[in-house]
Amino acid sequence: MNEALAEFLRSLALEKNASELTVKAYREDLTQAIEFLGTRHEGQKLTPDLITSRNLRAFTVWLHEQEYAKSTIARRVAAVRTWFKFLCRQGLATANPAEGLRAPRQDKKLPHFLSENALDQLLQAPSGEEPMGLRDRAILEMLYSAGLRVSELTGLNLDDFDLDASVATIRGKGKKERLAFFGSTSLFALKNWLKARQGLLAEKMGVHGKRTDAVFLNKNATRLTSRSVGRLLEKYLAQVGLDPRTSPHTLRHSFATHLLDRGADIRSVQELLGHSSLTTTQIYTHVTTQRIKDSYDKAHPRAK
């Protein structure tokens, strides 16, 4: 089974052009599934044809018993279905026991976002003097101004930017490329950080011996991680007293919501977010519609 999994992961990376994060997620989800299925066939060498639909249903029941979130269970069920389709196409399985496997129905949740006033407070929180403060302000500005995923932000290299045009080339999910635009305030913050970045690199050159193309660096002059971005955001949220549920992705939600609130075309927002399906973008129209309804309910004398 491990050989079959390795072949599937190679196919994802080479033929489907999946990102490292996607391959990592599939590896983790399917490794857990294989370990569980192995307990159902102890004493036997586990092969795809040994696995039954009953085994897979037992796996989903076990996931529920472990109190995994519905979204996590749905992702793991989807991974198993995709894997068995691959095994059947490759002739590694004669039947597909995952064909009727169903994921739990997802709770429909509107994305959490910040108001424009709250975002102003957050973006002003980092110090405008120290190098790390300049970096943090540029990070928050870019996440909101360009609607970036945190992995897209930490993956940015110097060559990805055209500062004269205020545009960056973003490599998103599935290694798809898109253009991201950012405004004058973000450009100003970015340029200030790039100056400070040069000083940080000059200071650390003797330690590391080589430069890096990464735009956003940690204090040791190496590429910043997504987890570090989450931690710095937590610090500024606490500093200005904003909702602690806020994550780096909240700034992306806020980006989309504010664009639609101000009349942006939904297909343009889809392109800016890098969504392959318009359905994914449409959740933000529900957010803005709800806000309009709330205003109606509060203001109209016969609303209630």
Q: What residues pair up with 180 in beta bridges, in sequence order?
A: 168
Options 85, 112, 204, 249, the catalytic residue: 249
The single residue of 284, 291, 296, 304 carrying the catalytic annotation is 284
Q: Which of 149, 197, 253, 258 is catalytic?
A: 149
Q: How far is CA 21 from the centre of its chain?
A: 10
The strands making up 161-162's β-sheet, listed across from edge to edge, are 161-162, 167-171, 177-181
CB of 11 closer than 8 Å to CB of 2? no
Q: Is 284 a catalytic residue?
A: yes
- The closest of 165, 119, 123 to 140, measured between CA atoms, is 123
Contact 214, 157 (CB under 8 A): yes
- Residue 252 known to be catalytic: yes
Question: CA-CA distance, 140 to 189, in Å (whole number)?
Answer: 10
For the chain, the farthest-separated pair of C-alpha atoms sits apart, in whole angstroms, at 72
Q: Please confirm, yes or no, whether 64 is among the known catalytic residues.
A: no
Q: Cα(147)–Cα(199) distance, rounded to whole angstroms?
A: 28
Q: Give yes or no: 208 in active site.
A: no
CA distance 93 to 53: 13
Q: Are 190 and 145 in contact (CB under 8 A)?
A: no
Record the tokens describing residue 98, joined without a space. Answer: 């995952």
Catalytic residue among 76, 137, 252, 258: 252
**Catalytic-labelled residue, pool 173, 178, 204, 223:** 173
Judge contact between 11 and 87, C-beta under 8 A. Answer: no
Catalytic status, residue 249: yes
Which residues lie across from 169 on neighbouring strands?
179
Cα 97–Cα 100–Cα 102 angle in degrees, nearest 5: 120
Q: How far apart are CA 160 and CA 137, in angstroms?
A: 19
Is 298 annotated as catalytic?
no
What positions carry a catalytic annotation? 149, 173, 249, 252, 275, 284
